[in-house]
Amino acid sequence: MTKIHHVILSALCLLLLMGCKSKKDISIAEWGYIDSAWVAADSSVFYVNEYQPIPKLVIGITVDQMRYDYLERFKSDFGVGGFNRLMNGGVSLEQMHYHYVPTYTGPGHASIFTGSAPTYHGIIANDWYDKKADALQYCAKDPNVMGVGTSSESGKMSPVHLISTTIGDELRMHTQMRSKVIGISLKDRGAILPAGRMANAAYWYIGGAEDVWATSSWYGMSSLPQWVQDFNARGYGKNCLTETWNLLYPDSIYNESMPDNNPYEAPFKGMIKPVFPYSLAELAKLNNLYDLMKATPCGNTMSMEFAKAAILGEQMGADEIPDMLCLSFSATDYVGHQFGPHSRELQDTYLRLDKDIENFLSFLDETIGYGNYLLFLSSDHGAGNNPAWMMENKLSAGYFVSDRLEEMVEERLIKKYGAGNWVLNESNLNIFLNRVLIEEKKLSLKTIQQEVASWCLEMEGVHSAFTHAELSYSIARNSLSEKVQLGFDQARSGDVIYTLQPGWMEYGRQGTTHGSGYDYDTHVPAIFYGTGVGMDYNTITGKYSIADIAPTICHYLGIPNPSGCIGKIIE
């Protein structure tokens, strides 16, 4: 038997044994089976082995601020074609957690798609104090690029501060740039960081008076592709603001949430009480016009429609070379911050997102073909319960004011070591000391860091404090210190990092926020669905790290892990 006969016979036998629908359109003239790998005529590998086909399109969905318990709380109210389809037809992990602090949007999106942690990918917060520039640095801000599709400062964004490669970067390198990788989100950081540094494009929404999706010159464009221009011309935001946001279902369906009118929610500007219905046209004038969309379910629906337009406009998943779409739904975060995790507004946002996901899955079935795409869904962080509500119900919680801590540290350093501007900045639970002043006075930086850390523990609400020296050279001694260490960057982090007690947060008395290392902020969904996902069981109960998602997807694609990856494949 000749080599070509062996290849053809092996391929025919394999197709008969597997009945693999994803290969039904592949001719034997174009494909061969060599050394346990499906190979195209030009020797590009697209099938890892005889049991694992490569998807034509990978979709990574991040639902901003989605706690895991939302899946369980709202499950009976979801339809059959959205979240329930993913859970019943795919594999859901019941104990997926973030392995570091702080649990913010920028680090979360970066960690999912790099399989890493802030200490390796460099995105330690949404913004951080730049010691050299003596100013805050936003995680996606880049003054060296120009906006494309917008002339505002909102267009000057890029992944320049991301150190590790992403899944998409590795896919692009593996296929010699033939794969297309695109990021989409209402938030710039939610589009840019998941897609990575080598992405074909990342698109984010510019609200205010603009109502456009835009990108930046980082991606080699001088003007928006025609399909983006066409989408913008539809005036989706304008149409949305003519609508009224009311409950999707009868009020009785929302029995998992608090009453509509309660003191733990923040009303929109122009409203006395945060109650349905919301006339978006009337509210837009006082809520920065099209920015209002971001805090309504309409923002998620628009993101989904833009993702569909991207797939069609860029012909993603149209050939055997795998592409990747990174889609982040951000409205859930805006609604969660404003109304809290137990509000009717939040529940309604998720019930409407369920419909959007059903719509999107049906579109993928029709466009890419069922079995030809691999989708995973997770979240960048969870959210805490409203502390005011907790305290009123005799639970341990509180509100922290970092300015008081900063003032106390400054006063004590002046009293002990003399006049001077000792604290340069306090942000994201990081205290940055004036190292130049400390050196001029010939003092021990390590000693002063230790003193400041001990003073932090005197403040009500503070749980623990760590010094820069300790995090740089010591091995983590418990789960909390390990999380702090994985969120620490020697060049970008502060001299002292502290954490708060469970239930405590720095925020207003309405709504909620996130950022801690406790379960309510770290426990998020993780669902895998589509090409190659096993069907022997639907749930995995073992505890996994968010860093495990990227190497698992890379395994399905048969590509190297991202450069900063510390996760493991989920078996």
As annotated, the active-site residues are 105
Side chain identity, residue 459: M
Residue 329's φ and ψ, nearest 5 degrees, are: -95, 110
- Token pair in block for residue 9: 């016979």
Residues 6 or more apart in contact with residue 16 via CB below 8 angstroms: none
Please tell me the distance from the alpha carbon of residue 344 to that of residue 259, in angstroms, as a whole number: 7
Residues 6 or more apart in contact with residue 172 via CB below 8 angstroms: 179, 181, 198, 199
User: ∠214-218-223 over CA atoms, to 5°?
Assistant: 45
Sheet of 52-53, strand order: 31-34, 37-40, 45-49, 52-53
Q: Do residues 320 and 285 touch, judged by C-beta distance below 8 A?
A: no
Please tell me the distance from the alpha carbon of residue 548 to that of residue 117, in angstroms, as a whole number: 11
State the DSSP string of 110-149. Answer: HHHHHTS-HHHH---SSEEEETTTTEEEETTB-TTS-EES
Q: From its phi and psi, is residue 43 left (phi > 0), alpha (psi between -120 and 50) or beta?
A: left
Instruction: Give Cα separations from 544 to 94, 103, 115, 154, 354 (angstroms).
Output: 9, 16, 12, 36, 25
Please tell me the distance from the alpha carbon of residue 317 to that of residue 57, in angstroms, as a whole number: 5
**Burial of 4 per CB tally in 10 Å (0-12, 13-18, 19+):** exposed
Token pair 């860091």 is found at 449
Q: Do residues 128 and 562 touch, judged by C-beta distance below 8 A?
A: no
Helices marked H in 393-477 — which ranges? Answer: 402-417, 435-440, 445-456, 468-473
Closest by CA position to 70, among listed 302, 295, 349: 349
Q: Do residues 112 and 60 touch, judged by C-beta distance below 8 A?
A: yes
Please tell me the distance from the alpha carbon of residue 54 to that of residue 458, in angstroms, as a whole number: 55
Residues 6 or more apart in contact with residue 195 via CB below 8 angstroms: 113, 159, 166, 168, 181, 182, 183, 201, 202, 326
Residue 423: how many CA atoms within 13 Å on its side-chain side?
21
Counted residue by residue, the chain has a size of 571
Helices marked H in 441-491 — which ranges? Answer: 445-456, 468-473, 479-486
Please tell me the distance from the alpha carbon of residue 40 to that of residue 46, in angstroms, as a whole number: 7
**Distance separating the N- and C-terminal Cα atoms of the chain:** 38
Residue 397: how many CA atoms within 13 Å on its side-chain side?
18
